[in-house]
Amino acid sequence: MLDPKLIRENPDLIKKTCKQKGIKLDVDKLLQIDEEKREILKQVEALKAEKNKASEKIAQLDGEEKKSAIAEMQKVSEEEKKLIPKLQELEAEFLSLALLVPTPQSKETPEGKDDTENVELRTWGELPKFDFQPLDHVTLAEKCDLVDMPRGAKVAGTRSYYLKNEGAQLEVALLMYTWDKLIEKGFTPMIVPNIVNYQPMMGTSYFPGGEEQAYAVGVERVRGEGVESDNKYLAGTAEVALTSYRSDEILSQEDLPLKSCGWSTCYRREAGTYGKDTHGLYRVHQFQKIEQVIVCEANMEKSQEMHDLLLKNAEEVLQDLNLPYRVVAVCTGDMGQGQYYKNDIETWMPSRESYGETHSCSNFLDFQARRLNLRYKDNEGKIKFCYTLNNTCIASPRVLIPILEIYQQKDGSIAVPEVLQKYMGNKKTIDPR
């Protein structure tokens, strides 16, 4: 959520940002409601002030004069009561629209309609060259008995899977390696709730607007004679729980930045993506992820420093795995509503003959903090909204695609990346069965 003052003073900028990020919002209507709301609020506050003044006066009166003053105050109270419902209605209407207002992106953000117009910033690593006909990750997984997608679909529907044997070990090894790396860097490790309330989803800006991508849990259940609504959701990232952890709290500047990493199973419906990137393990409904989240002071230089740190951590993991990748600046049309600046990391996937997105790194400034009421007291005693940032440090099974395909051998075996071997009983290769 943006500062309402920023919206009032920059309506053209907000309209432009809505267009760039593909958000449908009647900004003029929002401003009109805001003006009406503030006008009625002034009237309500004036009536309250009049009541308070009258109360002080009444305490000093008696007899008919007191009765008359009380009657006048009752009239003021009736006026106030008439205005309160209208004020509440306008406040609710304003909030429903204000929650759709996007953050204006940074000057470094390229303008573009979708991910095809993201801008490559740099690459790392050499693309693999094979002296044999390489196989894709699905064929490799079948030969080595690492993944069972047919039975996954039988049990849980399309885009579901079982990881088994060394496939399961490899995923856990990846997560443990990343987990240990971030802990060594001073990040607080957390196993977070996967089932969350509406407020954290709204606070991290997944709602409203992203409901169709989330699995709702127990929306309606029969209980006795009535119907009970849980109003809970399966989170698509640990970011939701990590960023919401300190919601409605006032931190001290000395405690910042807060750096945490969350290990969670993630769930996404992937609505509207049928037929797109659905081969194998690229786009699935359930996956595991290590997410980094930083809460820092409201300082642009500090937030950039934290963004660079998050991105560096993710790049280091890929470099340790010796997986070629590129870093892109995400364009306006591919950004989320609240993102100020965003980078994606795309890892080389031989079977796709291209890079595929495996990581993202986002700076939200105070957008999420305003929704979550996440604040801090600075060294001068002023209360300010924090800045928040997050990054996917590793997500599986998607990252298994480049590992299986790049590390495949001529005989159909798969070499285990050196940094993961200790997590897999010092196994060096995964052999066909």
pLDDT at site 219: 53
Q: The tokens of 274 are what?
A: 């049928």
Active site residue 433: no
Active site residue 269: no
pTM: 0.93
From 159, 371, 375, 398, active-site residue: 398
Residues paired with residue 362 on neighbouring β-strands, in sequence order: 342, 390
Average pLDDT over residues 216-228: 63
Which H helix or E strand runs over 215? strand 215-217
Please give the mean pLDDT across all residues of the chain.
94
Which H helix or E strand runs over 227? strand 226-228
pLDDT at site 372: 98
pLDDT at site 279: 84
**Nearest residue to 358 (alpha-carbon basis) of 389, 405, 406, 391:** 391
Does residue 431 surpass a pLDDT of 60? yes
Domain 115-430 has CATH 3.30.930.10: yes
Average pLDDT over residues 61-73: 73
- The string of DSSP codes covering 253-269 is GGGPPEEEEEEEEEE--
Q: The tokens of 385 are what?
A: 């909204």
The domain segmentation of the chain, as residue ranges, is 4-98, 115-430
Does residue 222 surpass a pLDDT of 60? no
Higher pLDDT, 273 or 112: 112
pLDDT at site 112: 97
From 205, 303, 360, 362, active-site residue: 360
From 8, 283, 326, 352, active-site residue: 283
Active site residue 38: no
Query: Which residues, in sequence order, are CB contacts of 242 under 8 Å at separation 6+?
Result: 190, 192, 260, 262, 291, 293, 390
Q: How far apart are CA 65 and CA 407, in angstroms?
A: 93
Q: The tokens of 321 are what?
A: 């795995």
Q: How far apart are CA 430 and CA 433, in angstroms?
A: 9
Neighbours of 249 (CB within 10 A): 12
Could you tell me if 388 and 243 are in contact, meaning their C-beta atoms sit under 8 angstroms apart? yes
Residue 274's pLDDT band, with cuts at 50, 70 and 90, is low
Does residue 251 surpass a pLDDT of 60? yes
How do residues 2-46 score in pLDDT, each as one tens digit?
A: 999 999 999 999 999 999 999 999 999 999 999 999 999 999 898
Query: What count of Cα atoms within 13 Å lies in the side-chain half-sphere of residue 75?
Result: 6
Q: How far apart are CA 243 and CA 214, in angstroms?
A: 18
Q: How far apart are CA 339 and CA 343, in angstroms?
A: 10
Query: Which residues, in sequence order, are CB contacts of 386 under 8 Å at separation 6+?
Result: 251, 256, 295, 296, 297, 298, 366, 369, 374, 375, 376
For residue 307, the one-letter residue type is H
Does residue 223 surpass a pLDDT of 60? no
Q: How far apart are CA 126 and CA 141, in angstroms?
A: 24
Active site residue 362: no
pLDDT above 90: percentage of residues in the chain: 85
Length in residues, the chain? 433
Does residue 224 surpass a pLDDT of 60? no
How do residues 112-169 score in pLDDT, each as one tens digit?
A: 999 999 999 999 999 999 999 999 999 999 999 999 999 999 999 999 999 999 999 9
Q: How far apart are CA 140 and CA 218, in angstroms?
A: 38
State the residue for tokens 């690459």.
123
Active site residue 398: yes
Question: Do you find a cis peptide bond into 104, omega within 30 degrees of 0?
Answer: no
Let me know if the fold of 4-98 is the same as that of 115-430: no
Q: How far apart are CA 157 and CA 269, in angstroms?
A: 12
Q: Which of 8-12, 20-24, 67-71, 282-286 has the lowest mean pLDDT?
A: 67-71
Q: How far apart are CA 259 and CA 184, in angstroms?
A: 12
Does residue 79 surpass a pLDDT of 60? yes
Question: Could you tell me the strand order of the sheet in which 383-385 lies?
Answer: 250-252, 375-377, 383-385
Q: How far apart are CA 290 and CA 401, in angstroms?
A: 17
From 80, 244, 246, 268, active-site residue: 268
Q: Which of 126-140, 146-160, 232-246, 276-290 has the lowest mean pLDDT?
A: 276-290
Q: How far apart are CA 320 and CA 418, in angstroms?
A: 9
How do residues 180-214 score in pLDDT, each as one tens digit?
A: 999 999 999 999 999 999 999 999 999 999 999 99
From 270, 297, 357, 405, active-site residue: 357
Q: How far apart are CA 230 and CA 232, in angstroms?
A: 5
Q: The tokens of 101 are what?
A: 């207002």
For residues 372, 272, 326, 302, the Cα torsion angle rounded to the nearest 10 degrees is -10
Question: Do you find a cis peptide bond into 208, omega within 30 degrees of 0?
Answer: yes
**Nearest residue to 1 (alpha-carbon basis) of 205, 296, 197, 198:** 205
Third-level CATH fold of 4-98:
Helix Hairpins (1.10.287)
pLDDT at site 226: 57
Q: How far apart are CA 115 and CA 134, in angstroms?
A: 28
pLDDT at site 66: 76
- The string of DSSP codes covering 350-364 is GGGTEEEEEEEEEE-
**Nearest residue to 365 (alpha-carbon basis) of 345, 393, 385:** 385
